[in-house]
Structures are given as C-alpha cells and as structure tokens.
Amino acid sequence: MWVILVRSFFIVKKENIKIFKIQLPLFPPELTFINKQIFFQKRDGQIYYFYGLFPLFSHEESDLKLFRFITSQLLVSGNVKQIEIAKAFGVPYISVKRSVNRLRKEGPEGFFKTEAKARTPHVLTDEVVERCKGYLDKGCNPAEIAEKL
C-alpha cells in the first residue's frame, strides 16, 4: 500500500508491520541559494545547479539517486555544508549524512548499483495444483487457499 503525502511516502507491510518513510526533496520553481556561491533552479522538470554563473550539474526532478549523488559530491568537494543541503531542500540531516558516507565508502557507483534481492523460486508442483483445484471446487476464495497451502 502506497500513501503519498506532499513530500513523503510510506511502505507498509502487513506481516511485520514495517514502515519506511522517505522525505523527498523540495524543488521550488524560483532560484534558490544553498549558500552564497551555490544555487539551484527548477526549469521544465529539470533541476540545474550553478556555481556563480557556471552550471555544475542537472538532473530530472524525480531522480532521487542522482539528487543524492550530486548533493554528496557538492559536500565532499567542500562547496557546501550538510546543514545547508538539509535546509535548502527540506530533507532530513541524517539522510544527507548517509549519502555522503555512501559516496566516501562506495564511490559514485554506490548510488546507481542495483541490489540483488535474494529470491526463492515459487514452484507449483502437480500435487499443489490438484490441491488448489480441490479447494476451488469446494468454493474457497484464493486468499483462503493461499493460507492453507
């Protein structure tokens, strides 16, 4: 179940009742200063970062991985402070800190790698198919059948 609230979203699992909350960055349409030298601007769904008059980076507004990489790059290079990023984009300080740590430990590829999830194959054997058919013939709904199997 997904519930989107202005800048946040929740992931809710029924089994273990795990709730994850990610606070998405705010990108106002006007020119916004991060500090005296660095600023950003949103234009046509793209976010552009500038150092004075020179463009530094750009990314799509919805690209959270690239946002984290770019802001971490600005921090590691010494151009901004963590608190400045947190205030300018309205994100939690701890998430900025985690992104910086990821960049320092894993490098740029740490933001863009896909984590392989351990999966177990779900195989329906002939025996299980026959049992399912039997439950369906008795009038059981799929949720009841899943619990029984």
pLDDT tens-place string over residues 20-30: 566 667 677 77
Least confident of 80-89, 96-105, 125-134: 125-134
pLDDT at 102: 94
Residue 115 has pLDDT above 80, yes or no: no
Report the alpha-carbon distance of residue 55 to residue 37 in Å, rounded.
Answer: 12
CB 65 within 8 A of CB 54: no
- pTM of the predicted model, to two decimals? 0.61
Residue 6's pLDDT band, with cuts at 50, 70 and 90, is very low
Residue 60 has pLDDT above 80, yes or no: yes
Report the alpha-carbon distance of residue 99 to residue 108 in Å, rounded.
Answer: 10
pLDDT at 16: 53
Mean local confidence (pLDDT), 21-48: 82
Report the alpha-carbon distance of residue 23 to residue 93 in Å, rounded.
Answer: 11
For 83-100, the pLDDT digits (tens) are 999 998 888 999 999 999
Closest Cα to residue 25, out of 78, 99, 79?
99
